[in-house]
């Protein structure tokens, strides 16, 4: 799927959500459709909560709000840059009248960590989510008092402090792009020389 506009991309994603609902949550989908047709009250508990994994650099200012900084991985849809990707998706979900609310914007590493925590609860918590794909990245669980960025943020949303923990997305794939900390070996030079993306 190649999209030229943000509307085209997020409309495509919303249609995929609709297809998923029809196949895997058909009862809920049909019940919502009937409620709308009958003019019945539709409240928040009638909506499914969506965790939106968006694997591009965003400036995330709350649990479900993040502005696209730039595209990577060959994507280049200029009108999306600087916009809230959750809002763009929610608008297209709403246009299809789907019973879905974008509840959280999560990076793929955060999603991996959360999925493992959800499927394997217990006394030994999941400590790290890692992705090794077109790039690499990691997310980990940190004590809330050590997340000093929160104190410096002027604009931001609410967060749940009840656990005393927060998941931190490290974006380690972008660490030291200037090569000022880590050494550059002859192997790195040879790889960069023959790489499409040095």
- 98 — pLDDT class (breaks 50, 70, 90): very high
pLDDT at 65 over 90: yes
> Which one of the listed residues 6, 11, 84, 108 is annotated catalytic?
108
- Give the span between the Cα atoms of 47 and 102, in whole angstroms: 10
Structure tokens at 32: 């919502």
Active site residue 70: yes
- Give the span between the Cα atoms of 133 and 102, in whole angstroms: 25
Q: What SS3 class is residue 144?
A: helix
Active site residue 192: no
Percent helix, strand and coil across the chain, each rounded to 5?
40, 20, 40
Residue 28: how many CB atoms within 10 A of its CB?
Answer: 15
Q: What tens digit of pLDDT does each residue of 129-150 get?
A: 999 887 788 999 999 888 887 7
- 105 — pLDDT class (breaks 50, 70, 90): very high
- Hunting for tokens 């190649």 — which residue is that? 2
pLDDT at 20: 94
Active site residue 194: no
pLDDT at 25 over 60: yes
- Give the span between the Cα atoms of 109 and 117, in whole angstroms: 12
> Which one of the listed residues 55, 62, 91, 117 is annotated catalytic?
55
- 158 — pLDDT class (breaks 50, 70, 90): low
> Which one of the listed residues 19, 26, 36, 70 is annotated catalytic?
70
- Identify which of 12, 98, 2 has the alpha carbon closest to the alpha carbon of residue 50: 98
pTM reported for the whole predicted model: 0.71
How far is C-alpha 187 from the chain's CA centre?
33
If 0-12 CB within 10 Å is exposed, 13-18 middle and 19+ buried, where does residue 116 land? middle
- Do the Cβ atoms of 66 and 58 come closer than 8 Å? yes
Between 139 and 115, residue with greater pLDDT: 139
Q: What tens digit of pLDDT does each residue of 174-196 get?
A: 777 677 777 788 998 898 888 87
- Give the span between the Cα atoms of 51 and 175, in whole angstroms: 26
């Amino acid at each position: 799927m190649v999209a030229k506009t943000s509307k085209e991309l997020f409309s495509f994603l919303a249609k995929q959500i609709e297809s998923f609902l029809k196949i895997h949550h058909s009862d809920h989908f049909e019940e919502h459709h009937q409620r709308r047709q009958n003019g019945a009250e539709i409240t928040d508990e009638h909506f499914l909560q969506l965790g939106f994994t968006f694997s591009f650099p965003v400036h995330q200012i709350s649990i479900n709000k993040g502005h696209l900084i730039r595209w990577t991985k060959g994507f280049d849809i200029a009108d999306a840059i600087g916009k809230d990707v959750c809002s763009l998706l929610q608008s297209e979900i709403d246009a299809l009248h789907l019973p879905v609310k974008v509840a959280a914007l999560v990076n793929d590493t955060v999603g991996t960590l959360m999925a493992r925590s959800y499927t394997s609860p217990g006394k030994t918590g999941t400590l790290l989510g890692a992705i090794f794909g077109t790039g690499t990245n990691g997310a980990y669980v940190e004590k809330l008092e050590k997340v000093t960025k929160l104190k410096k943020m002027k604009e931001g949303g609410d967060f749940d402090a009840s656990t005393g923990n927060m998941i931190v997305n490290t974006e380690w794939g972008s660490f030291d792009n200037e090569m000022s900390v880590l050494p550059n070996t002859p192997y790195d030079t040879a790889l960069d020389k023959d790489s499409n993306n040095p």
